């Protein structure tokens, strides 16, 4: 049997794309991009994070176009990102400058500045709210007016723009080792493909743009036995980070001449992981290592899971899968993993026929 | 007023202020648009807190505009899809670069807006601080 090249299907493909449009609008209901931005916070945050592009507007548009399909929305945004020029790099962002909206610790009850719950599903009953079916514009306005006009006395001087970091407090108390700033310029994984072993900067960049489900699952596996991490959340913060860039023609470090360009919302986590270390006197002592997690928007599970994987990859040397950087870093990217799995749907007629030919030949040779 | 403080006030504050200042310049001078408002990317460079390593968090969509007034250039850059604000920021930036007379009167307006931003923020913070936990020791 000879192989033949085939073509065709153009009309069928065009009709399929029309069918996709029909599926999206057949119920004659339209979802405004502004409505998605305003009401689908978790989804928008997740798409921005996995796309590695912070734009609530573009993420909402991608969600609309993809009909809420996350992997498709991320694919769209990544593709769009590749068409835009990158003109600037920000000044180094330090999370001490975060305007905090939520900040908790599972390690210490009394953290400097206090525990601020902010907005979270953690304290809800997770019961379906059937009142939302009949939620009206008027009831929304009434609730908002009551909430915002309520006079709140400022009882103490908690400055949410200058909350001390828990890790800094512990370093001052000598409970965590001091570390000096590493000035090594990071490698950008969007400019250079990963080469193993990776640098810490590359690992953090890949982890923060990882698919939420994949990062969470591998973080969970690292705790369950396919790793050796037993963390406690030292500090979890959600808040806004101010961004500045230097003047393009002013190479000095005069920050007052910078452009402030706005702010982005992130979730940041430091996890404390206990480890046993051998001291010089052959005694074993308990110490803590820090796992670091951060991602766009409010996505606490992902940021915690990232901190687990960061610690696992940074310090792991016991042969667990979650300590293997190739295993973790090459399988958590949404576009890469969904793209590869998805490509299995594409025509493999020639390669599959080749396999069938081999099978037929072997059977014939063995007289079956 | 330095550029960092000025741009923070103009971006975080009411959009009316940027519009008002840019309008004054447009009425009195010829503003040449060098680069129309357009989308671009800015890469965010960060320092993490565990090992204090530098890394790239990801990119952010910005809208950027470049204008020229006389021999001076102005740049307007702002996070998001903000064509109008980006243009106004560029005009104001060029006005400061050209040291135009109008800018001397702007400091008071910017400081007033800064006060307004601070008051609004304090009100929002006070509301948020209702969620601050007040632990009480239990008798066991």
Q: What is the pLDDT of residue A161?
A: 87
Whether A150 and A262 have beta carbons less than 8 Å apart is answered as: no
The predicted-structure confidence for B71-126, as pLDDT tens digits, reads as follows 999 999 999 999 999 999 999 999 999 999 999 999 999 999 999 999 999 888 89
Residues of chain A with pLDDT > 90, as a percent, come to: 73
Whether A54 and A48 have beta carbons less than 8 Å apart is answered as: yes
In angstroms, the CA A56 to CA B80 distance is 8
The predicted-structure confidence for B42-65, as pLDDT tens digits, reads as follows 999 999 999 999 999 999 999 999
Q: What is the pLDDT of residue B24?
A: 97
Residues on chain B touching A310 (C-beta within 8 angstroms): 50
Question: Are residues B131 and A116, on separate chains, in Cβ contact within 8 Å?
Answer: yes
Residue A100 above 60 pLDDT?
A: yes
Pairing of the two strands A86-89 and B32-47: parallel
Question: Are residues A95 and B126, on separate chains, in Cβ contact within 8 Å?
Answer: no
The predicted-structure confidence for A25-83, as pLDDT tens digits, reads as follows 999 999 999 999 999 999 999 999 999 999 999 999 999 999 999 999 999 999 999 99
Residue A316 above 80 pLDDT?
A: no
User: How large is the average pLDDT for residues B31-37?
Assistant: 98
Question: Are residues B78 and A261, on separate chains, in Cβ contact within 8 Å?
Answer: yes
- Band of residue A8 on the pLDDT scale cut at 50, 70, 90: confident
Q: Give me the residue from A90, A147, A257 closest to B42, CB to CB.
A: A90
Instruction: Using CB atoms within 10 Å of the CB of residue A6, give its burial: 0 to 12 exposed, 13 to 18 middle, 19+ buried.
Output: exposed
Residue A331 above 80 pLDDT?
A: yes
Question: Are residues B45 and A84, on separate chains, in Cβ contact within 8 Å?
Answer: no
The predicted-structure confidence for A14-23, as pLDDT tens digits, reads as follows 999 999 999 9
- Strand, coil or helix: what is A105? coil
Q: What is the pLDDT of residue A153?
A: 63
User: How large is the average pLDDT for residues A301-312?
Assistant: 97
The predicted-structure confidence for A126-159, as pLDDT tens digits, reads as follows 999 999 999 999 999 999 999 887 766 655 577 8
Shortest Cα distance from A13 to chain B (angstroms)?
A: 32
Q: What average pLDDT does chain A have? A: 92
Shortest Cα distance from B116 to chain A (angstroms)?
A: 17
Give the mutation candidate from A204, A208, A248, A308 for the B interface (greatest B CB count, under 10 A). A204
- Which residue's structure tokens are 């036995």? A225
Residues on chain A touching B54 (C-beta within 8 angstroms): 92, 182-186, 201
Residues of chain A with pLDDT > 70, as a percent, come to: 96
Whether A166 and B21 have beta carbons less than 8 Å apart is answered as: no
Residues on chain B touching A255 (C-beta within 8 angstroms): 4
Q: What is the pLDDT of residue A367?
A: 81
User: How large is the average pLDDT for residues B28-38?
Assistant: 97
Residue B4 above 60 pLDDT?
A: yes
Pairing of the two strands A53-54 and B54-69: parallel
Shortest Cα distance from A137 to chain B (angstroms)?
A: 23
- Band of residue A229 on the pLDDT scale cut at 50, 70, 90: confident
Residue of A nearest to B128 (CA): A118
Q: Give me the residue from A57, A186, A260 closest to B54, CB to CB.
A: A186
Shortest Cα distance from A177 to chain B (angstroms)?
A: 10
Shortest Cα distance from B129 to chain A (angstroms)?
A: 7
Whether B101 and A123 have beta carbons less than 8 Å apart is answered as: no
φ, ψ at A98 (rounded to 5°): -65, 135
Q: What is the pLDDT of residue B140?
A: 61
Q: Give me the residue from A84, A168, A182 closest to B53, CB to CB.
A: A182
- Which residue's structure tokens are 């890790």? A167
Q: Give me the residue from A81, A245, A261 closest to B59, CB to CB.
A: A81
User: Which pair of tokens denotes residue B68?
Assistant: 């020229």
The predicted-structure confidence for A158-217, as pLDDT tens digits, reads as follows 788 889 999 988 888 888 889 999 999 999 999 999 999 999 999 999 999 999 999 999
- Band of residue A287 on the pLDDT scale cut at 50, 70, 90: confident
Residue A93 above 70 pLDDT?
A: yes
ipTM for the complex?
0.96
Question: Are residues A180 and B52, on separate chains, in Cβ contact within 8 Å?
Answer: yes
Q: Give me the residue from A89, A204, A261 closest to B48, CB to CB.
A: A204
In angstroms, the CA A89 to CA A84 distance is 14
In angstroms, the CA A184 to CA B47 distance is 11
């Amino acid at each position: 049997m000879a192989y033949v090249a085939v073509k065709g299907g153009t009309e069928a493909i065009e009709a399929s794309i029309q069918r996709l449009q029909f599926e999206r609008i057949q119920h004659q209901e339209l979802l405004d991009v502004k409505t998605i931005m305003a009401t689908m916070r978790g989804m928008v945050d997740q798409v921005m994070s996995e796309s590695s592009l912070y734009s609530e507007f573009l993420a909402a548009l991608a969600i609309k176009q993809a009909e809420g399909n996350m992997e498709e929305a991320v694919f769209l945004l990544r593709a769009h990102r590749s068409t835009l020029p990158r003109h600037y790099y920000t000044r180094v962002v330090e999370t001490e400058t975060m305007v905090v909206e939520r900040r908790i610790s599972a390690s210490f009850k009394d953290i400097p500045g206090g525990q601020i719950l902010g907005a979270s599903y953690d304290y809800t009953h997770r019961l379906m709210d059937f009142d939302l079916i009949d939620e009206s514009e008027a009831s929304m306005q009434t609730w908002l007016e009551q909430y915002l006009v309520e006079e709140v006395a400022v009882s103490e001087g908690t400055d949410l723009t200058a909350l001390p970091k828990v890790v800094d407090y512990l370093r001052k108390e000598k409970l965590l080792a001091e570390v000096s700033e590493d000035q090594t310029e990071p490698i950008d994984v969007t400019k250079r493909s990963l080469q193993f072993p990776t640098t810490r900067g590359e690992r953090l960049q890949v982890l923060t743009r990882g698919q939420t489900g994949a990062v969470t699952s591998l973080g969970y596996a690292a705790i369950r036995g396919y790793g050796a991490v037993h963390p406690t959340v030292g500090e979890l913060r959600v808040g806004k980070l101010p961004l500045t860039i230097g003047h393009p023609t002013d190479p000095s470090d005069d920050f007052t001449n910078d452009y402030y360009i706005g702010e982005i919302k992130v979730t940041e986590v430091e996890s404390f992981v206990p480890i046993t270390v051998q001291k010089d006197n052959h005694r074993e002592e308990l110490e803590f290592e820090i796992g670091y997690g951060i991602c766009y928007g409010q996505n606490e599970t992902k940021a915690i899971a990232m901190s687990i994987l960061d610690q696992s990859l940074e310090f792991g040397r016991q042969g667990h899968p979650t300590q293997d950087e190739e295993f973790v870093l090459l399988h958590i990217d949404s576009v890469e993993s969904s793209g590869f799995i998805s490509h299995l749907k594409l025509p493999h007629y020639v390669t599959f026929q080749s396999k069938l030919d081999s099978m037929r030949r072997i059977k014939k040779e063995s007289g079956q | 007023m330095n550029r960092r403080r000025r741009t923070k006030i103009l971006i975080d504050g009411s959009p009316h202020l940027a519009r008002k200042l840019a309008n004054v310049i447009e009425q009195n001078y010829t503003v040449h648009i060098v680069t129309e408002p357009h989308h671009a990317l800015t890469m965010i460079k960060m320092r993490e807190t565990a090992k204090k390593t530098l890394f790239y968090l990801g990119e952010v969509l910005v809208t950027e505009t470049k204008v020229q007034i006389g021999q001076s250039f102005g740049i307007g850059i702002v996070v998001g899809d903000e064509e109008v604000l980006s243009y106004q920021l560029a005009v104001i930036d060029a006005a400061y670069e050209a040291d135009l007379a109008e800018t001397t009167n702007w400091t008071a307006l910017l400081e007033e807006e800064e006060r307004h931003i601070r008051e609004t923020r304090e009100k929002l913070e006070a509301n948020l601080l209702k969620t601050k936990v007040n632990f009480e020791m239990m008798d066991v």
